[in-house]
């Protein structure tokens, strides 16, 4: 349970950082980031997982780059469900997905919670 809470907090902090870096990717507050992190996690565990499984051939052909497209779409979907978390277009979501993955990885490695 402790690991899950730490991962959730790291994801929320990562969303806040990405919101400061990527234009069109906005997170209003830490509370909004916490809710967005939970919703994004749920979306990725359900719809995102299904999409990633059915697009395995396309992901293989694009050397995994199509997975970034799926992640961007999941961020846009989460944005449409939430207030306080806004992604204004595909490219903001696409680059936000890239930066989010990198920032999340860096924070996890710095905190030792891999």
Reply yes or no on whether the pLDDT at 50 is more than 80: yes
Reply yes or no on whether the pLDDT at 113 is more than 90: no
Query: Residue 5 to residues 21, 28, 55, 68, 71: CA-CA distances in angstroms?
Result: 25, 21, 30, 25, 22
The pLDDT of residue 3: 85
The pLDDT of residue 112: 80
Reply yes or no on whether the pLDDT at 114 is more than 90: no
Residues 86, 101 contacting (CB under 8 angstroms)? no
What's the whole-number mean pLDDT along residues 17-44? Answer: 94
pTM above 0.85, yes or no: yes
Return the closest-CA partner of residue 5 out of 112, 113, 88: 113
Model confidence at 2, in pLDDT bands (50, 70, 90)?
A: confident
What's the whole-number mean pLDDT along residues 40-51? Answer: 93
Phi first, then psi: give them for residue 87, nearest 5 degrees.
-125, 120
Residues 30, 12 contacting (CB under 8 angstroms)? yes
Q: At what angle do helices 2-21 and 90-111 cross, to 10 degrees?
A: 130
Model confidence at 10, in pLDDT bands (50, 70, 90)?
A: very high
User: What are the sequence ranges of the domains in the chain?
Assistant: 2-111
Q: What percent of the chain has pLDDT over 70?
A: 99
Helices marked H in 22-64: 30-43, 49-54, 56-61
């Amino acid at each position: 349970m402790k690991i899950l809470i730490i991962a959730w907090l790291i994801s929320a902090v990562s969303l806040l950082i990405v919101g400061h870096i990527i234009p069109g990717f906005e997170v209003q507050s830490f509370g909004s980031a916490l809710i967005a992190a939970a919703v994004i996690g749920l979306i990725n565990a359900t719809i995102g997982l299904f999409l990633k499984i059915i697009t395995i051939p396309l992901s293989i052909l694009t050397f995994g780059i199509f997975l970034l497209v799926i992640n961007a779409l999941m961020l846009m979907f989460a944005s449409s469900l939430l207030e306080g978390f806004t992604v204004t277009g595909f490219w903001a979501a696409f680059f936000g997905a890239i930066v989010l993955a990198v920032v999340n990885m860096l924070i996890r490695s710095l905190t030792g919670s891999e």
